Amino acid sequence: MAKLIGACMFGQSGGPTSVINSSAAGVFTEALKQDCITKVYGAKHGIKGILDEEFYDMGEESLEELMLLKNTPSSALGSVRYKLKSYEDNPADYERLLEVFKKYNIRYFFYNGGNDSMDTCNKVSKFMQKSGWECRVMGVPKTIDNDLYGTDHCPGYGSAAKYVATTLMEINLDAKVYNTGMVTIIEAMGRNAGWLTAAAALAQDGLGADLIYLPEVPFSTEKFLADVKEVCAKNNNNCIAVVSEGIKTAEGKYVSEAEVSATDLFGHAQLGGLAARLGGLVSKELGVKVRPIEFSLMQRCAAHLASKTDIEEAFNAGAKAVKCAVEGMTDKMVVYKRVEKDGKYACEYDVMDVALAANTERKVPSEWIINNGTYLSQEYIDYAMPLIQGAAEAPTENGLPRFARLKKVLVKK
């Protein structure tokens, strides 16, 4: 296949992770090496930056700073939650994209994100094909939710899972320090899939959770209270429960939004998170000391605690996207394939049609959820454990993280 010569555009989209910038580093460093790629652009705030003609010239950055992106959390270029409508509903966006692609001779487009972002990526890909503008489009997966279809796991998941398991072990020791008993309720992210919350089961040495609730299992407040009560009775009023923010009632309503009690005590959803609400309920109904904890943004941005495996795989996924595009592929997303090498976990990189990843969701298999919906099986642990291996070894300066300092030179319009 003849080499396609032109510029490349890379964008980050959706909720950031500890390692999304590692994929960016993979894309940038690989693209800068390729002779056929004349310019390497980074879109400011994803697709929005392209529409607004705001993007950075990544060729202006030093290789050293680009490599520091491997340990820099969040989306260095800025992210966006802009859902591209269908061409029929909003042709202007598509025409504008084509205009910008033509103006800057963009022949390679890499988009890094989760299911929604892959939908955008897919739409851009199909439109460019239809319009006759030759442009190789590749999706790079990303999500702490680990819910993308077609890939063994997702970049970002291993690091967030490592945060959950490590922090849980530390909290477990702290929560049991007095002889008075305490119910600790921890809220982890994951609106529709419970992969991240499941990582609580990775904790070792008996320093994990007693109860784990995923959105895959309908949540009953009564059963939850009974479960907590049972653990407390056995365990000197100590109990650690980890709940996914996305747990839903049997009617499909998010518990975080539902009235979890008949009293008006829980009617102010905007004030406390789910953990605080469930905690209030436990305190009221069981009369025990309660500590609600939200892992909040920390679980997705704690780059100092990232998994080395995750960092390296995310980097490789970015580089793979560029290599595949240069070799002639388009309309694909990079996927991870788990293989065994010398009896050990290893990851290989493959591609699949980006359309397959768009807007699909992969949930935790129901057979992996055990103990009457309150724990994870050994199959899950065997699946997830390899993904959290290795330390980030993030560079520091003055005892604090040394994140990438990009120049971010905006391309002149």
Catalytic annotation, residues: 145
**Cα distance between residue 202 and residue 198, in whole Å:** 8
| Residue-wise DSSP of 59-89 | GGS-HHHHHHGGG--S-TT---------TTT
Given the rule CB under 8 A, which of 57-65, 302-310, 324-332, 339-347 is the region that contacts a copy of itself? 302-310
399 binds a copy of itself (CB under 8 A): yes
Under the binding rule (CB under 8 A), the answer on residue 262 touching a copy of itself is no
**Contact in structure between 13 and 358 (CB atoms under 8 Å):** no
Q: Which of 202, 239, 324, 326 binds a copy of itself (CB under 8 A)?
A: 202
Cα separation of 384 and 164, whole Å?
12
Q: How far is the CB of 1 from a copy of itself (least distance, A)?
A: 37
DSSP conformational letter for 262:
S
- Interaction of residue 268 with a copy of itself, rule CB under 8 A: yes
Options 113-121, 295-303, 335-343, 368-376: segment touching a copy of itself (CB under 8 A): 295-303
> Exposed, middle or buried: residue 40 (CB in 10 Å: 0-12, 13-18, 19+)?
buried
Q: Which of 75, 115, 125, 197 touches a copy of itself (CB under 8 A)?
A: 75
Q: Which region, judged by CB under 8 A, interacts with a copy of itself, from 108-116, 201-209, 223-231, 370-378?
A: 201-209
- The angle at the Cα of 184, spanning 162 to 310, to the nearest 5 degrees, equals 10
Sign of CA dihedral 325, 329, 334, 337: negative
Residue 338 binds to a copy of itself (criterion: CB under 8 A): no
Binding mask 133-162 for a copy of itself (x = CB under 8 A): -----------------------------x
Q: What whole-number distance in Å separates Cα of residue 103 and Cα of residue 6?
A: 11
User: How near is the Cβ of 159 to a copy of itself at its closest, in Å?
Assistant: 11
> Under rule CB under 8 A, how many of the chain's residues touch a copy of itself?
68
Residue 43: which H helix or E strand, with range? strand 37-43
Q: What's the closest the beta carbon of residue 36 comes to a copy of itself, in angstroms?
A: 31
Residues shown for the chain: 413
Judged by CB under 8 A, which of 296, 359, 371, 372 binds a copy of itself? 296
Q: Which of 24, 183, 188, 301 binds a copy of itself (CB under 8 A)?
A: 301
Structure tokens at 238: 């100590």
Using an 8 Å Cβ cutoff, are 238 and 208 in contact? no
Report if residue 9 touches a copy of itself, rule: CB under 8 A: no
Q: Is 179 in the site for a copy of itself (CB under 8 A)?
A: yes
The distance of closest approach from Cβ of residue 205 to a copy of itself in the complex, given in angstroms and rounded to an integer, is 7
d(Cα 40, Cα 60) in Å, to the nearest integer? Answer: 9
Please choose, out of 77-85, 143-151, 188-196, 215-223, the segment that lies near a copy of itself by the rule CB under 8 A: 77-85
Between CA 314 and CA 45 the distance in angstroms is: 20
177 binds a copy of itself (CB under 8 A): yes
CA 207 to chain centre: 25
Distance CA 134, CA 141 (A): 23
Which residues lie near a copy of itself (CB under 8 A)? 16, 45, 48, 72-76, 78-81, 162, 165-167, 169-171, 173-179, 202-205, 207, 265-266, 268, 270-273, 276-277, 280, 283, 291, 293-294, 296-298, 300-305, 307, 385, 388-391, 396-401, 403, 405
